[in-house]
Amino acid sequence: MTQQAVLVTGASGFVGAALILRLCDRADISVTAASRNVNHEWPTGVKYLHLTDMEADHVAIPLDGVDTIVHCAARVHVMSDQASDPASVFRKINVHATLNLARQAAIAGVRRFVFISSIKVNGEATIAGGSFNSSDIPAPEDPYAISKLEAEQELMKLAGETGLEVVIIRPPLVYGPGVKGNFASLIKLMGKGFPLPLGAIHNKRSLVGIDNLVDLIIRCIDHPAAANQIFLAGDGEDLSTAELLRSLAEALGRPARLIPVPVGLLSFGATLLGKQEVARRLLGSLQVDISKAREVLGWEPPVSVKEGLRRCVCDSSV
């Protein structure tokens, strides 16, 4: 059997590690994990490539025989960035390193480059009843999102110049077993049964479970029609913040103690405390239209939100 050689960057990260586990189930794919993390334990049969300084043009990246690259490596968005010049740091990792890898991929004869971007390229919020789609005019607001858009634009330009097939995937918040950050904090709060003043929030937000995102990535590795396209990822089921918290509590087998405090009062309190960004995520809407992936790739999210949340919390320590 002829195998397709797939290289995954950021392979020890949340998305990369889950993708590699799924790819290992495919007899027709050989997997190379590219990462800075030399201590990560890789599945049997996975080759390891220690990648550092991808942004350095003089560093030759061994890509002979690679058919497809899935580029998950990135400097990710953080709520309180401590860098003195965040834009410069984001651009170095998310733009320069990405383009260096892609240029070397084109020279080496790599067929396809799948770039994991972010829904933040579209913007930070959607209006009531509206949703982001892949044809929207981008509206990134922070240095992270701007760097992702710049990388997308340069990759598409490179595709036109070289014939390298580029696929861009923009996921919203990704959750699943081992998730960290604010989502992990919500799981802990619901697990401990703390009352939260979030019972009156009727926004709508799209999420994507890690199993659904990995499934879409694999479809974009395989499907001929994915070439040079942008796809938005999502579960296909949108939840309000209150609905999400109730669903997490149900998955944990705990009661949801949500107090119906008016949204205006919550927003005012968040402003006084300097927590406007947190409030925007909890109170605002961000909906994603995944119809293009359905129509072009014949893709449907295989895991429901209810099952995805159950998988997410099953190993949580609360």
Residue 14 lies in a domain: yes
Q: Which of 88-102, 113-127, 294-308 has the lowest mean pLDDT?
A: 88-102
Residue 84 lies in a domain: yes
Q: Quick one: 141 and 279 in the same domain?
A: no
Q: Which of 6-10, 193-197, 274-278, 307-311 has the lowest mean pLDDT?
A: 274-278
Structure confidence by residue, pLDDT tens digits, 10-40: 988 999 999 999 999 888 999 999 888 777 8
Domain tally, the chain: 2
pLDDT at 58: 64
Q: Quick one: 36 and 132 in the same domain?
A: yes
- List the one residue out of 184, 152, 182 whose CA is nearest residue 78: 182
Q: What is the pTM of this model?
A: 0.92
Residue 34 lies in a domain: yes
Q: Quick one: 139 and 194 in the same domain?
A: no
Residue 295 lies in a domain: no
Give residue 192's domain range. Answer: 181-203+240-283
Cα(180)–Cα(102) distance, integer angstroms: 29
User: Which is more confidently placed, 2 or 110?
Assistant: 110
Beta strand pairing call for 173-175 and 68-71: unpaired
Residue 20 lies in a domain: yes
Contact 127, 285 (CB under 8 A): yes
Residue 245 lies in a domain: yes
Active site residue 144: yes
Confidence of residue 287 (pLDDT cuts 50, 70, 90): very high
Q: Quick one: 106 and 22 in the same domain?
A: yes
Q: Quick one: 84 and 188 in the same domain?
A: no
Q: Quick one: 137 and 96 in the same domain?
A: yes
Q: Quick one: 12 and 159 in the same domain?
A: yes
Summary mean pLDDT of the chain:
89
Residue 314 lies in a domain: no
Residue 301 lies in a domain: no
Cα(139)–Cα(123) distance, integer angstroms: 5
Confidence of residue 93 (pLDDT cuts 50, 70, 90): confident
In sequence order, which residues have a C-beta less than 8 Å from that of residue 244 and are 6 or more positions away? 186, 205, 207
Q: Quick one: 112 and 189 in the same domain?
A: no
Q: Quick one: 156 and 258 in the same domain?
A: no
Q: Quick one: 255 and 148 in the same domain?
A: no
Q: Quick one: 117 and 41 in the same domain?
A: yes
Set 115, 144, 231, 299: catalytic member: 144
Structure confidence by residue, pLDDT tens digits, 159-185: 999 999 999 999 999 999 988 888 888
